[in-house]
Amino acid sequence: MRRSKKKKFKYGPWIIIFLIFAIGLAFFMRKDLIKFNSTEKSEMTKPEKEKSPVFPGYNDTAVESENGMLEVTNPSSDLVLVNKNRKLPDGYEPTDLTYPIVPLHGASKDKTLMRKEAAHALENLFQTAEANGIILTPVSAYRSYDRQLSLYNYYLQTQGEEWTQAYSAVPGTSEHQTGLSIDVSSPNFGNKLEAEFGDTKEGVWLSDHAHEFGFVIRYPEDKVEVTGYHYEPWHIRYVGKEYSTYLFEKDLVLEEVIAPNK
């Protein structure tokens, strides 16, 4: 009887090589996957690059007028820059003035006209303030050129030129004429417009929260040399929520973001 010969398994070495290769490949794939997941997680946790809102160009929004001053070409913009160097066009008057529906607390309704968007923002501001126990008064908003002229001359006669230059705008250069600004006080402060208003709870609240409604304190205490006006914690200016938040968080005024080309 013949002894059966065991068949030689010819493919054994190749299977071993294949298994070694598969294990090595799996190891490297796992290593790359861990690296990818780590990178992906790192990218996800990276803070997004902060985007600054775009402000109008200083030189692009004004032309030289006959008296040598710059005259703004975007008077109806929420971001119009009007100051001691930049005037509104002669006879300018906003076309969408309206009365904000806010408690007057003794103030004159006739002095509360504002442009429509700003008026609605002021309504939200006053409503939120009252819900937080803060009572505000709308003292003086839109002023025509003639009204500003009358006030300016009155201040010259009663307060003198130095005080007038520090607190009152030459007619045609007043933010009040844009319909975007309003002077705000409180019954608890006698509805007065004085620097001490900034120390009251109402003034502090306004300074801390005005930007949430699209307003900025236009003439801060630490920016006198930049704005050209003394501290006015009562004077707020509407620019829109995106821009007001940026200015508030960066501690900037309009003159610092809308500046002449160097």
Tell me which CATH code domain 59-257 carries.
3.30.1380.10
Residues 6+ apart with CB under 8 A from 244: 210, 211, 212, 213, 214, 215, 216, 238
pLDDT truncated to tens, each residue of the chain (262 aa)?
A: 444 444 444 555 556 555 565 565 555 555 554 444 544 444 454 455 568 899 999 999 999 988 889 999 999 999 999 999 999 999 999 999 999 999 999 999 999 999 999 999 999 999 999 999 999 999 999 999 999 999 999 999 999 999 999 999 999 999 999 999 999 999 999 999 999 999 999 999 999 999 999 999 999 999 999 999 999 999 999 999 999 999 999 999 999 999 998 6
Domain boundaries, the chain: 59-257
What distance lies between CA 229 and its chain's CA centroid?
20
pTM of the full structure: 0.80
CA separation, residue 24 to residues 13, 30, 180 (Å): 17, 10, 70
> Is 232 marked active-site?
yes
Name the catalytic one among 71, 232, 249, 255: 232
pLDDT at residue 68, rounded to an integer = 83
pLDDT at residue 43, rounded to an integer = 47
